[in-house]
Structure formats: C-alpha cells, structure tokens
Structure 1
Amino acid sequence: MTASAQQKDSFPVQAKIEHGVIEGLYDTRSGLQLYLGIPFAKPPIGDLRWKAPQPLEPWKDVLKTKAFGPRPVQAVVFGDMNSRSNGVSEDCLYLNVWTPAKRNTSGLPVLVYFFGGGFVAGDGSEPRYDGASMAKKGIVVVTVNYRLNIFGFFAHPELSKESPYKASGNYGLLDQHASLVWVQKNIAAFGGDSKKVTIAGESAGSIAVSAQMASPLSRNLISGAIGESGAGINPTLAPVPLIEAEKIGSEFAKNAGYPTLAQLRALSTREIYEIYNESKRFGFPSVIDGYFYPKTIPEIFKAKEQAQVPLLLGWNSAEIPGGAFMQGLPYSEENYIKKVKEVYPNHADEVLKLYPHGSPREIEVSATALASDRFIAYSTWKWFDLHRKNSSQPVYRYLYSKLRPPLVDQNKVPGLAGGTVDKQDAPKMPEPVGAPHACEIEYCMGNLDLVKEYAWTKDDYAVSETMQNYFANFIIRGNPNGDNLPNWPAAEPNDASPPVMILDVISKAVDAKDDARYLFLDKAYKNN
C-alpha cells in the first residue's frame, strides 16, 4: 500500500526524536502509526561518498515522514523487486517505522529488518518487508536502507588513508550499524524498548545479521537475531583482508580511467553507476578492516566475542536449482559423476555418498542440495554451529519447505530473488524440487496479501501464520514457542542430529539428517 493510499484513512501524527520533530501517519484502519523515510545519517554525497555514515544535523521545522525515501543506487538486478520508494539516489540513508503504540505505550519489542539482494540491490520499501503485519503482533518494526555495490563496499588505499580508523569499504554495513545506534537513541519515541531489539534479514540481509552479531561496534546493541539463508562465512560473501579489497578497488579505479580518489569523488552518480555496470562486477567484497570486522566471523565466534543473544535461523529446501552445479548438463549419472569429480577430485566418492545418484530424479534432488549447500545453506549451518557451541543462548534452526503456488500471470516466471520476469526473457526452469531462495520472506513477515504475483491458497496462509507467529514470539521473548504451535526445541551444543523445524503446511520438528554434508563442506572450505 502506498502512503497516498493510506492517507485517506489517516491523520497526521508527530514524534519528537533526537534531531527534531517528525510527522507521520496514524492509520485509523490498522491502528498503526507509520513514519516512512526518516533520515538516520547525513546524505552520503559529495565529500561523504565512501565515508562512514556521519551524524545528522538537527532540523528546526517539522520534518514530513510520510513516504519512503529514495532507494540506494542500483540496477534492476533480480527480476522486479517491486520497490515502493521515491526514486533512486546516493542520498538513501532513510529508515521506516511501523508502531502499534498508543499515547502511553512503552517497552514494546523491536524488529529491525535488513533487506536482501546480494549487497547490490534491494531496499526497505519492498512490499514483502512491510512492517504493518508484524506491528499488529505488538512489535515496533523498522526497515533500513543501506548503501550498495560500488557506493557501499568500495575500498581504496586513499580512502583508507583519509579515514580516522585507517580502513575503507564496509560502508553498507556501517550504515546498518548507524541505524542500530539510531534505534537505541530514538525507538522509545515510538513505544519501543531499546533493550529488546531483534535484528533480522534474508540472504544479504541475513549475512548482515551475522556481521552485526560479530562486529564489536554492534554486538551490544541487539538482544536477538534472526537469519534467513545466509551468513558471511566462506564461500558466501565472506569479508576479505583489507589489502586485498584495496587492490581490487585500485585496479577497478585504474581500469575505469580514474585512478585517484579526487577523480572518483568528482564523478556524477550517473558516471559511477555506468562505469560500475559496464564492469560487470557483482558488487565488492566486505572487508576485515580492523574496525567493523576485526577478524573473520568464525574467528570471532570461536573466541566467544559475538553478541551473546538468542538466534533463530534456517534456510530453504531448494535454494537454487541443481543446474547451477550441473552447469547446464542434463541430469544423467554420467554427467553428475563427471561434475562431482571435477569439483571434488580428491573426495568424489565421499560426495557421491552424501549426495546420492540412483535415478535422474535423485540426481536432480542431490544436485539441487549440493548447489544450495555451496551457495548459501552451508554458510548458514556454520553460523548455527558456531553459535550453539560458543554461546549459552538458545539457537533454533528451521528448514523452510513450502512449495510456491502458481503465478497469477502465466506469462511470467519467478525471479531469482523475488519479483517476476517475462517468460520469453527467461530460460526454461525445471519444476522446483523444494522451496527456492527468498520465497519465505512474505510468509514470515505476514505479507502474502501485499505480494500480488502469486495465486496464494489457504495452505499458503496457514504456513504464513505459523511462521510469522514463531518469528513474532521469538522477537517478543527470545523463544519461538507459543500457543497452538508445534513445539520447536532449541539445539544443544554437541547434538550430532539437532532438531530442525520443518516449516510447511504441517510444520514439525525432526532430527537433522543431512548434517554430515555440512561437516564435509566445513573441511572443504577450511572453516573448521
């Protein structure tokens, strides 16, 4: 729903926050207050391009916060992400608040949700992240914009030299950190409790949650964490050493014909956008900068230096198609064995036992599992394993398994990370063998009705209600269990087959049966 659609049932409402008074909307239909497009740092433009977010100046007049701020500069990377934001701009550091608070309400739990999109795309206004449904459960919901791609993760020796902490990159992660500082200082104005802040996200947003949990800057600002498919652990967008990131940035700048920082800062948004897109790069890596990231995530967790908070996390049953592993080859035994031997020349027999190959269907299921594990499931498992072994806090694990319903428009096919693309523009995809990447977001946030592309069924609404209630319970009290929900046990530190909540039409906790796959990949990726 756009702000203009909401205004017909709304009256203006004001809140006093650290830098001045803002004016949002009190929606009489939902009983919620909405404050959209609240600035939380100075616009990162001009000399502030590629700098850590800077504190805002106070404003004198009432600031209108009734429409989503601009989204971070990005190309259309993943189908159609259905942004509701007001344009695209480097001036993108805005957040949105939905609150059920009445005039005397205080102490409400808070959810801060970071969007996904590979750190190259996405924004906090997408309908699937809308906070209204979760706010109706008694939670103050915040969605946050952060810088992306070259604007959010570019490192360069000259940038490191000018920085007070002598490093560069990680601007998108530092934006998220700045939003958490903003929440600490301001959330009471919306009825929220700064001591009850759960951070959540999917894909890059989940990687961001693992990063904020690990960072000494953010770890004391949160009381809980939810990760949906992704952690910043090799091979999934793990941070690289600063010297490596600076080398990537220097070479990029030199190849573009603008080797110095002064030349780069003098370029327009359009010029940087086009230079970056022409390079065909998929973003820039995050950085072990000695500031946001002192070490790798596994090193931080093994030292028990992460946020010691309850963690709920999981992944989907078919994150990406098996074709990503088969690289276009048909699912025959010969092709599958050949690919496994290419990728794991010294361990092919072990891999073929863990991901078996008795029939074309079994090969497809195994190739899908192997592709998904290598893409994002293993890194999420590793995060799970590190926290349960290096924290006394409860850790809850799920496997989201509900297949998507058909699309309303039969001329479209699902996009990789949300939205849809025209059928004739997309390669023919096989029938899914499980739940694909990103498909659970609108279920857990209670937003099926805002995502118009799918022909949702009664079963979809039932799964959404279950998943959203688990998430809401966890945000409210650090434990997903509650009335009329199947019991979800926490994982013990050394349980070889820990409980996994299968989220489907009938949800139930089962003992993990595939963790041998992750133990093998742990050795292969040298994270153990």
Structure 2
Amino acid sequence: MPVHPRGLGRAYLLSACLGLITLTLSAQPAVETYYGRVVGETSADGTINIFRGIPFARPPIDSLRWRAPEPPDSWTGTKVCTTFAASPMQRSPEPFSMWSEEFLIPKEPIGEDCLYLNVWSRAGATQQPVLVWIYGGGFNSGGSAVPIYDGEAMAREGVVFVSINYRVGPFGFLAHPELSAEAPYGSSGNYGLLDQIAALHWVRDNIAAFGGDPNRITIAGQSAGAASVNALVASPLSYGLFHRAIAESGGLLTREPVSLAAAEDNGLRFADSLGGTDLEAMRALPAATIQATPAPLLRPILDGYVLPLPVAELLGPGRAREVELLTGWNENEGLLPGPLVDAAAYRARIRERYPDRAEEYLSYYPATNDSIARRSQEDAARDALFGIQNYGWSNLHAGYSDRPVYLYRFTRRVPGEGKYADYGAFHTGEVPYAYGNLDRVDRRWTPVDHELSETMRTYWVNFVKHGNPNGVGLPAWPAYSAARKEVMLLGDRVRAELLPDAERLDFMFYLQSLDE
C-alpha cells in the first residue's frame, strides 16, 4: 500500500519523537539499591545526578506509628525518585520573624509517610566523601525539602550530599508506659533519632552505588539537627555509621534529654488529652487529630537505649567518640521571638532567679541602661541556648578525644529587607553560606556575602573530605584546645582569634548545669 508523503513525514516525526523520549529516559540516572532500582534526574548541565524521595524505611503509619523504623519493602521495576516526599507531620509553615519561606518546608505535602531521603552526586564519580544533612526545627518541625538544604552546590565540589527526613513532634518523640512495654528494647520515644540511625544504615549500605564512599561519612545538622548530631555522636547505636561531625548552633549538654519516667508521664497526659484511649485506638486516630492536640515539650529522651547515659557522660572520659568535629554558633542567635524587659525589670528578674550569683551575672550581662539591658538579654539567650552547647562540647572533645575540633562563630549580618531586616547573624543564617545556597534565597547579596559563602563552603568541603577545614588560599583555622581557646570568626573578615568571652560562657554553662 503506498504511503502518502504527508503520512511518511508523520511517520518520520513519530519515530523521531519516540527516539527522543527513549533518549531522554535513558539519560536519566538509574541506580540499583539494596531494595530496588531508582531513577532520578540530572542538573541542567548534566553533571549532577539528583534523586529525591528514596524510601529508607517502611511508612511509619497505622500499626507502625510510634514504633522503631523498619527497613523498607523491596520493589520490582523502577521507582521514579524525582520529587521530594512529604515532610514529617507538623503544622503548615508560615514565614515569621527572620525566617523567610526559603528557610521553611513547602506548605505541602506534609504527612506521616515521610521516611525518605535525597541524594545529590557528581555524575560518573566514585568513592566520594559523603555528607548526611539533618535539619533543625526544635524537634517539632522541619524537613529535607527546605530550599536552603539543596545539595547541588556541595555535589559540584565532589561531596555526595544526602538529606534525610525524620519524625518530629508527638509522632517522633512521644513516650508512654505501654509503648515501652511493647518495645523489645524496653523503652519508648526517640523515634526521630531512631529514624536518623536507620537512614545512616541505609547510607552505609547503599551510598557506594551513588558514587559515595561508605568509609568517609560526615553527619551535619543545625539547631535541633546539631542536637541530633550531638546525640548520634554519643549514642552506642550509631557506632561505625559515620566518621566526622558538624554541629551548627545546637547540642544536648546542658539541655539534657528528659528522663524516660518524666517522658512517659508526659505521654500519659497527652493520651488523656486524646481521650484516654489505649494504644490501638491512638494508632487509629487521624494524624491531623494528633497534630492538632496540644502536646508537652517533646525532645530527645534519656531512654536507656538510644541514650543510655547523659550525653556529657557519653562524651566524657573513656567514652569520647573518635570523630573529627566542626562546631560553632552565630552572633545574633539571641534575637529569637520573645519579650525583652527594661533595665530595672531585668535586674530584678536576675536577682530573683539567681540571688547568690546575681551580681556576677550582671557583671557578664550588664544592665547599665535599657539599651545595654536589651543587648545583655539577647547575649544571654544566645549563650544559654546555643553558645554553651557548642563551646561545652568543644571543651569535652578537646579534653577526651584524640581527634581535633574546630570552633567557629558566624558574625556576618545577613541581608534582609522589610520584616526580614535587622536580624544580624541570626539563627540558621549561616546555612546558605556554608552549603553554597545563597542563590536559593531571595535577598540582596553583596560581593562580601558571595566571597564569605565561597570561603565557608570550601572550609566545610575540606572538613568533609579530610577532617580538616584548612586548605590552600584560606585563612588558617587552628584546632581548638582547652589551653588555647581559638575560634574562627566567619564574617566581614575571616580570621582566628582567642575566644573573647570564654569566661562568660563558662559562667553560663555552670548556671545552666545548676538549672538542670
């Protein structure tokens, strides 16, 4: 049968289109994991492979709610992993204070089926060092799909970047006597930390297929993510799963995990607020009902399993983990939402709370006038919430580990306009600098910002690769020691100096230890 010329043209066009589709599909990066084949996508220039939404555990839903994570089910065929999975169950985020939308998870999807991870790696590369990112959010919010957590810039520097999800809030840290009784390890809570450990097992077992080196894994996190890093370095359950650690603005030294008994009491009260139902009924409740129910402060638990002892003891004599550590905090992290009082009210508050130490307290955090009192309250909040955690850990690590620790303070005033202006070097502000993601944030960056980001990213990459941030062309970053407390200032200028407020931090560490 003769073919009409127009039909012949259509046939050629169809053939060409099918060939293009086949070429496009074959160009997508595919990897065989232990559980099945996954396909991702490449960056615009074709040099970076990107996989989003790879399962590392079974969905923690229905009967698996409030249980330790289980390995994912294997699958046949190819799983397309090109979009982020749901962020953990939490309230829908809204920009507030200094945090614009680039610092927050997307509004959707959000749900319980959240135990997935994402991988960025250089196409064709092998045996590259690995960085596993753990987000912050007070153990009540957060997720791996936050724009400033993008891993492409680090992958371009020869680092396989992995970001993980873990359960938060009542889904991640609820303890209850019945949950402890049913668990084979005899305790409950810390499901979020167990998720992180499960993700690290997946990374160790699968990352070579993505071009990573399972013998060079660094864990890194900020805020609650840094506290998680602190817990993971301390926990015996994570031995052998990583080799270096980066902790940005967070820890668990003076803000110790709550005891299992106290956490179980909190869980009983929470169950009462849900109607006093048994575990089976609680597991049958809609996730939205649980999320909408006011919960006590939920955070890591001294459960005898993930954390068998207080963190400071697990990092102390005879137990300190042999990992290199990079840690620090930001200059203006005391600028958190909350009321500040005038000088007279501030002095009265301190004298009431610390009657035997008030004058010493006011010598470190003075109240000469209202302006100075305001700054002192901000400095005290920064030191108590963040500074002493990372400073205290540096002292422990320098004293009891054979591996070095590198301490920093981020001082650059992050640009911002309108309601995001005038927050200085705020909490989380260092993240887009260190991971090369200024272009993910809509702010008026200057050449100083871009130069600082390049320097910080190079420090972080060098640490992930070698356990030492120093490199050619960089200002020298000395290792921290208890005898010579040197800190790297990362700001308008990058330089090392003796920590100017070590005595004040020692005082605050002592006070916070008493409060515990």
Contact 2:93 2:105 in 1 (8 A): no
Specify the alignment match of 2:279 in structure 1: 261
Specify the alignment match of 2:341 in structure 1: 329
SS at match of 2:163: strand
- The structure 2 residue matched to 1:503, chosen from 474, 482, 490, is 490
- In structure 2, how many angstroms separate the alpha carbons of the residues matched to 1:134 and 1:72? 25
State the Cα distance separating 1:123 from its structure 2 match: 0.6
State the Cα distance separating 1:524 from its structure 2 match: 1.7
- 1:429-476 per-residue CA deviation (whole Å, 9 max, x = no partner) reads xx44x4111111111111010112x21111111111111111111001
- In structure 1, how many angstroms separate the alpha carbons of the residues matched to 2:192 and 2:330? 26
Q: Say whether 1:60 aligns with 2:76.
A: yes
- The structure 1 residue matched to 2:118, chosen from 92, 96, 105, is 96
Specify the alignment match of 2:109 in structure 1: 87
Specify the alignment match of 2:236 in structure 1: 216
Q: Say whether 1:386 aligns with 2:400.
A: no
Q: Say whether 1:405 aligns with 2:415.
A: yes
What amino acid is aligned across from residue 504 of structure 2 in structure 1? R
Contact 2:104 2:147 in 1 (8 A): yes
- In structure 2, how many angstroms separate the alpha carbons of the residues matched to 1:308 and 1:57? 34
Specify the alignment match of 1:421 in structure 2: none
- In structure 1, how many angstroms separate the alpha carbons of the residues matched to 2:72 and 2:134? 21
SS at match of 1:212: helix
Contact 2:92 2:107 in 1 (8 A): no
- In structure 2, how many angstroms separate the alpha carbons of the residues matched to 1:150 and 1:10? 43
- The residue correspondences of 1:136-147 to structure 2 (distance < 5 A) are 136-147=156-167
Structure number, greater radius of gyration: 2
State the Cα distance separating 1:305 from its structure 2 match: 2.2
What amino acid is aligned across from residue 307 of structure 1 in structure 2? R
Contact 2:260 2:302 in 1 (8 A): yes
- The structure 1 residue matched to 2:452, chosen from 443, 450, 463, is 463
Q: Alpha carbons of 1:363 and 1:489: their partners in 2 closer, same or farther (altered >3 Å)?
A: same
Contact 1:156 1:245 in 2 (8 A): yes
Q: Which consecutive residues of structure 2, in runs of 5 or more, have no partner in the other structure?
A: 1-22, 96-100
Q: Alpha carbons of 1:218 and 1:339: their partners in 2 closer, same or farther (altered >3 Å)?
A: same
Q: Which consecutive residues of structure 1, in runs of 5 or more, have no partner in the other structure?
A: 1-6, 415-430
Contact 1:201 1:209 in 2 (8 A): yes
- The structure 2 residue matched to 1:71, chosen from 68, 87, 94, is 87
- Counting helix residues as a fraction of each chain, which structure ranks higher? 2
Contact 2:93 2:104 in 1 (8 A): no
SS at match of 1:15: strand
- The residue correspondences of 1:26-425 to structure 2 (distance < 5 A) are 26-29=42-45, 31-76=47-92, 79=95, 80=101, 81-84=103-106, 87-102=109-124, 105-235=125-255, 238-275=256-293, 279=294, 281=295, 283-321=297-335, 324=338, 327-330=339-342, 332=343, 334-407=344-417, 410=418, 412-413=419-420
State the Cα distance separating 1:340 from its structure 2 match: 2.1
State the Cα distance separating 1:356 from its structure 2 match: 3.1
- In structure 1, how many angstroms separate the alpha carbons of the residues matched to 2:57 and 2:169? 19
Contact 2:131 2:219 in 1 (8 A): yes
What amino acid is aligned across from residue 451 of structure 1 in structure 2? V
Structure 1-normalised TM-score?
0.88
What amino acid is aligned across from residue 215 of structure 2 in structure 1? K
- In structure 1, how many angstroms separate the alpha carbons of the residues matched to 2:26 and 2:245? 33
- The structure 2 residue matched to 1:514, chosen from 491, 498, 501, is 501
Aligned positions, number: 487
Structure 2-normalised TM-score?
0.90
State the Cα distance separating 1:381 from its structure 2 match: 1.5
- In structure 1, how many angstroms separate the alpha carbons of the residues matched to 2:376 and 2:114? 42
Q: Alpha carbons of 1:463 and 1:342: their partners in 2 closer, same or farther (altered >3 Å)?
A: farther
- The structure 2 residue matched to 1:479, chosen from 447, 458, 468, is 468
What amino acid is aligned across from residue 85 of structure 2 in structure 1? G
Contact 2:384 2:509 in 1 (8 A): no
- The structure 1 residue matched to 2:434, chosen from 429, 441, 444, is 444
Contact 1:224 1:311 in 2 (8 A): yes
Cα RMSD of the aligned pairs, angstroms, is 2.1
Contact 1:85 1:125 in 2 (8 A): no
- In structure 2, how many angstroms separate the alpha carbons of the residues matched to 1:212 and 1:63? 30
Contact 1:198 1:475 in 2 (8 A): yes
State the Cα distance separating 1:85 from its structure 2 match: 8.1
Contact 1:288 1:294 in 2 (8 A): yes
